[in-house]
């Protein structure tokens, strides 16, 4: 149950019944391309505009996750979902056809962590037998929302990240439903993060804005469970990128923890930044969501990894706050995911 | 626990330990003015811009709710909060100083329902002894986000609503903490809503866009608990306004339920629409949040009402979705709140 100051441990860990990832062409050409369930060659996803494309991608990922788990829509009691866009419009239009009672979430790029945490909390409490966690981003909707028109072809500093076109969907359910949960990874615990504002103001260097929040949540997790980095096979941040990773490792080292060998960042994994010109790495809600479904969960299913701390990171800014000269607070939500037999 | 298709009943209902409302000048001049804890005469709340004003209002409401309950910030384990702005910036900057692990929510004007539901679910499951639910809106930030520059002085059709400048904050906690929960209202059950899209496209008539979602959640609540309108002293929608109320009553009548005598809409209560020129009524996350804290909870504390269905309603649109010709889906989250001795 309650552990330490901010964490929750699940006595009977909810299981990840099934998951699915859908992504765009560029992500398909990256290092994880072969692991992504559906790589769509048309970044418009057959729709008329970018927002509709992102909605279509959400729907596709959600439906595929259900299909892979042989679960019908009406067997899912609650949906936890979000995206980066103002008023979550990709989610509103992407999930309406699911007809599942829905909690709309905004945690910037940390949304998959927030959604997974609430989905697991809901299942473990007995409020639902199955829940669905969904998070997406799309390069073109994000550029339109936060930066410049695509046709403008603006230059980007090396500290900038590239918003992932992708969506991850995860069905979280109660143990004991038979074959469907064989080898299924378990959500053993969560450490919801708090907002950390270190005064970083450079929206082209979001790794620096988010690293302190990631450090805070990791240290909170260590403290709450009386563990350290040796407890995890991997600590997986969402989208710190190369610069954020360096900051994270430095700050953790100052706190007495060497994460060099076990830290992994979804934003670094998803692209080959040199060949793909993505600078510091990938970002967006879809970055950690796709990497979770395509790369992390399979390694937990196979038993290659026993236990990971999945830690999507979010930079809390809007064009309005940025233009008003505000800083960029960060947030990171930690989810402890274990292989089936990790505890035994 | 799980009731029917979409509801949750709490065996040991979490209690509303304390609550606070902060609002602007216009709201202070309305019918509820005398019940609002703090009516700020300066709609800038002493800040430099509207967004900062909304953040300051959130902070003030949260701190006041804690103060009224004699609760320190560190005694609150999780925060559930949201607002109407893109990327929730009023919330990010308004709650950072609380230093409480935070779940960012977006449900448009239904956010207080979503926040209360999750806060109660979290407390009842034993994940936290105390949680805080906060939702706000500000007339000027909303006009800037969704409509026209204030100085433009645009005309508004009679079906339009006026965004409430206000914030409500509610501390939800576990029963049995002694004096602090005496006469405290209880959250007995929740019926999280699903997105309902009836194809309404007029952003100046959001009552019509939201009424079908409210009808869906009310009917789901009746079905899940095998009750009807006689079970509640009031069914309180968030911000349907005059037109939405008429639609709701008509649609419910067609379904065999006459809500005329027990329906109340926060958007209709909060302003005197004739004298205050607010047309169809109030709207925004702050509308239902302020009315809950200033008007509804006191009537449950006094025992004047025994049981209400509090049902904030949200219209899921953005300027982008609107300009792309999309419809306006609605959502409504139901929270059953009872007086201390309602069940006995």
pLDDT tens sequence across B269-317: 999 999 999 999 999 999 999 999 999 999 999 999 999 999 999 999 9
Asked if B62 and B207 sit in the same domain, the reply is no
Q: Which range (B35-39, B256-260, B319-323, B339-343) has the least confidence? A: B339-343
Q: What mean pLDDT do residues A111-122 have? A: 98
In this prediction the ipTM stands at 0.97
Number of domains in chain A: 2
Is residue B1 predicted with pLDDT exceeding 50? yes
Q: What is the DSSP letter of A176?
A: -
Measure B188 CA to nearest chain A CA, in Å: 14
Is the Cβ of A122 closer than 8 Å to some Cβ of chain B? yes
The residues with which A264 forms a beta bridge, in sequence order, are: A236
Are the Cβ atoms of A126 and B317 closer than 8 angstroms? no
Q: Which of A84, A100, A324 sits opposite B49 (nearest CB)?
A: A324
Domain limit, last residue, from B173, B204, B227: B173
Residue B281 structural domain: 183-338
**A124 chain-B contacts, CB cut-off 8 A:** 125
- Residue A35: is it exposed, middle or buried by C-beta count within 10 angstroms (0-12/13-18/19+)? middle
Give the per-residue pLDDT at A139: 96
Asked if A11 and A133 sit in the same domain, the reply is yes
* pLDDT confidence tier of residue B181, bands split at 50, 70 and 90: confident
Between CA B170 and CA A159 the distance in angstroms is 41
Are the Cβ atoms of B103 and A118 closer than 8 angstroms? yes
Asked if B147 and B189 sit in the same domain, the reply is no
The residues with which B337 forms a beta bridge, in sequence order, are: B187, B308
Q: Which of A180 and B201 is assigned the larger pLDDT? A: B201
Is residue A344 predicted with pLDDT exceeding 50? no
Q: Which of A6, A49, A88 sits opposite B106 (nearest CB)?
A: A88
Residue A139 lies in a domain: yes
Residue B178 lies in a domain: no
Residue A179 lies in a domain: no
**A223 chain-B contacts, CB cut-off 8 A:** none
Asked if A9 and A144 sit in the same domain, the reply is yes
Q: What mean pLDDT do residues B158-180 have? A: 87
- Residue B152: is it exposed, middle or buried by C-beta count within 10 angstroms (0-12/13-18/19+)? exposed
Give the per-residue pLDDT at B342: 78
Residue B343 lies in a domain: no
- Residues A327, A340: contact at Cβ < 8 Å? no
> Quick one: tokens of A278?
């993505």
Is the Cβ of B128 closer than 8 Å to some Cβ of chain A? yes
Is the Cβ of A138 closer than 8 Å to some Cβ of chain B? no
Is residue A176 predicted with pLDDT exceeding 80? no
* pLDDT confidence tier of residue B344, bands split at 50, 70 and 90: very low
Are the Cβ atoms of A194 and B101 closer than 8 angstroms? yes
Q: Which of A82, A87, A106 sits opposite B318 (nearest CB)?
A: A87
Q: Which residue of A has its CA nearest to B91?
A: A316
**A192 chain-B contacts, CB cut-off 8 A:** 78, 101-103
- Which among A92, A134, A197, A198 is the top mutation candidate for probing chain B, defined by the most B β-carbons within 10 Å of its own β-carbon? A92
Asked if A103 and A204 sit in the same domain, the reply is no
**A77 chain-B contacts, CB cut-off 8 A:** 2, 6
Between CA A77 and CA A100 the distance in angstroms is 6
Q: Which of B89, B106, B124 sits opposite A105 (nearest CB)?
A: B106
Q: Which of B52, B95, B121 sits opposite A125 (nearest CB)?
A: B121
Calculate the alpha carbon distances from A96 to A59, A78, A106, A132, A261 in Å: 9, 13, 17, 14, 42
* pLDDT confidence tier of residue B12, bands split at 50, 70 and 90: very high
Give the per-residue pLDDT at B154: 86
Asked if A80 and A143 sit in the same domain, the reply is yes
Asked if B25 and B68 sit in the same domain, the reply is yes
- The pTM of this model reads 0.97
Q: What is the CATH number of the domain that holds A65?
A: 3.40.47.40
Between CA B284 and CA A332 the distance in angstroms is 28
């Amino acid at each position: 149950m309650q552990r330490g100051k901010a964490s929750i441990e699940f006595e009977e860990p909810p299981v990840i019944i099934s998951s699915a990832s859908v992504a765009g062409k560029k992500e398909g050409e990256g290092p994880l391309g072969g692991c992504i369930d559906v790589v769509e060659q048309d970044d418009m996803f057959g729709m008329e505009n970018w927002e509709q494309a992102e909605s279509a991608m959400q729907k596709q990922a959600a439906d595929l996750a259900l299909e892979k788990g042989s679960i019908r829509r009406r067997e899912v009691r609650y949906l936890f979902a979000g995206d980066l866009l103002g008023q979550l419009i990709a989610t509103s239009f992407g999930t309406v056809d699911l007809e599942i009672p829905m909690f709309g979430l905004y945690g910037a790029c940390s949304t998959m962590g927030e959604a997974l945490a609430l989905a697991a909390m809901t299942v473990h409490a007995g409020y639902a037998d199955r829940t669905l966690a969904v998070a997406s981003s799309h390069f073109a909707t994000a550029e339109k929302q936060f930066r410049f028109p695509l046709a403008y072809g603006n230059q980007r500093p090396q500290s900038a990240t590239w918003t992932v076109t992708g969506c991850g969907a995860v069905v979280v359910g109660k143990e004991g439903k038979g074959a469907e949960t064989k080898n299924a990874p378990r959500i053993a615990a969560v450490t919801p993060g708090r907002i950390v504002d270190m005064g970083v103001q450079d929206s082209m260097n979001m790794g620096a804005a988010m690293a302190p929040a990631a450090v805070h949540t990791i240290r909170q997790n260590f403290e709450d469970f009386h563990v350290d980095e040796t407890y995890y096979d991997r600590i997986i941040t969402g989208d710190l990128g190369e610069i954020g990773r360096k900051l994270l490792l430095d700050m953790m080292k100052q706190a007495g923890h060497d994460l060099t060998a076990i830290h992994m960042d979804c934003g670094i994994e998803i692209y080959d930044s040199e060949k793909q010109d993505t600078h510091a790495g990938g970002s967006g809600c879809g970055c950690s969501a796709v990497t979770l479904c395509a790369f992390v969960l399979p390694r937990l299913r196979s038993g290659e990894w026993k236990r990971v701390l999945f830690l999507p990171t979010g930079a809390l800014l809007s064009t309005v706050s940025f233009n008003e000269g505000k800083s960029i607070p960060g947030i990171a939500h930690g989810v402890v995911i274990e292989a089936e037999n990790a505890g035994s």
